[in-house]
Copies of this chain bind each other. A is one copy, B any other.
Amino acid sequence: MTQKTPFTPNISKVASAIQPFHVMKILAEAKALEVAGQEIIHMEIGEPDFSSLQCINQAANQAVQKGLTHYTPTMGLPALRKKLAHFYQSFYQAEVNPNQVMITPGSSTALQLVLTATLNPGDKVILADPAYPCNRQFVNLLYAELLTIPVSHETQYQLNLEQLKKNWQDGIKVVMVASPSNPTGTVIEQTELVAMAEFLAEKNVYLIVDEIYQGLVYDRPAESVLANQNLPDNVIVINSFSKFFGMTGWRLGWTVAPKHLIPILDRLGQNLFLAAPTPSQYAALRVLDDDALCELEQRRQIFENRRNTLYHAMLNEGFTLKTLPQGAFYLYWDVSDFTDNAQQFCSALLQNTGVAITPGKDFGQFNADTHVRLAYTTDEENLQLAVKKITAFIKTQR
Known: A7-B204, A60-B64, A143-B121. A15 touches B268 (CB 8 A): yes
- In the assembled complex, A65 has its CB within 8 A of some CB on chain B: yes
Q: Once the chains bind, are A264 and B105 in contact (CB under 8 Å)?
A: no
Q: Once the chains bind, are A117 and B232 in contact (CB under 8 Å)?
A: no
Which residue of chain B is the closest to A48 with respect to CB atoms? B70
Q: Once the chains bind, are A10 and B69 in contact (CB under 8 Å)?
A: no
Residues on the B chain within 8 Å of A70, using CB? 47, 51, 248-249
Residues on the B chain within 8 Å of A47, using CB? 70-71
Known: A11-B117, A64-B52, A204-B8. A273 touches B106 (CB 8 A): yes
Q: How far is the CB of A40 from chain B (nearest CB, A)?
A: 16
Residues on the B chain within 8 Å of A7, using CB? 201, 204, 232-234, 258
Which A residues between 1 and 37 are near B, CB-CB below 8 angstroms?
Answer: 1-16, 18-21, 24
Q: Give the distance in Å from the alpha carbon of A229 to the alpha carbon of B4 in the complex.
A: 8
- In the assembled complex, A231 has its CB within 8 A of some CB on chain B: yes
- In the assembled complex, A272 has its CB within 8 A of some CB on chain B: yes
For A135-147 the 0/1 string (1 means CB < 8 A from B) is: 0011001010000
Residues on the B chain within 8 Å of A19, using CB? 267
Q: How far is the CB of A59 from chain B (nearest CB, A)?
A: 11
Q: Once the chains bind, are B24 and A270 in contact (CB under 8 Å)?
A: yes
Which stretch in A155-163, A276-284, A349-357 binds the other chain? A276-284
Q: Once the chains bind, are B108 and A201 in contact (CB under 8 Å)?
A: no
- In the assembled complex, A100 has its CB within 8 A of some CB on chain B: no
- In the assembled complex, A261 has its CB within 8 A of some CB on chain B: yes
Q: Give the distance in Å from the alpha carbon of A137 to the alpha carbon of B268 in the complex.
A: 9
- In the assembled complex, A198 has its CB within 8 A of some CB on chain B: yes
For A109-124 the 0/1 string (1 means CB < 8 A from B) is: 1001000111111010
- In the assembled complex, A90 has its CB within 8 A of some CB on chain B: no
- CB pairs A–B below 8 angstroms (22 shown): A1-B229, A4-B230, A4-B231, A5-B198, A7-B201, A11-B117, A11-B261, A47-B70, A47-B71, A57-B61, A57-B64, A60-B60, A61-B61, A69-B250, A70-B248, A105-B273, A106-B273, A143-B143, A250-B278, A251-B274, A251-B275, A277-B277
Beyond A8-B204, A138-B271, A250-B278, 19 extra complex contacts between A and B, CB < 8 Å:
A1-B231, A4-B232, A6-B232, A9-B258, A9-B261, A10-B118, A14-B120, A15-B268, A20-B267, A70-B248, A105-B105, A105-B106, A121-B143, A133-B271, A134-B270, A141-B271, A249-B279, A251-B273, A277-B280
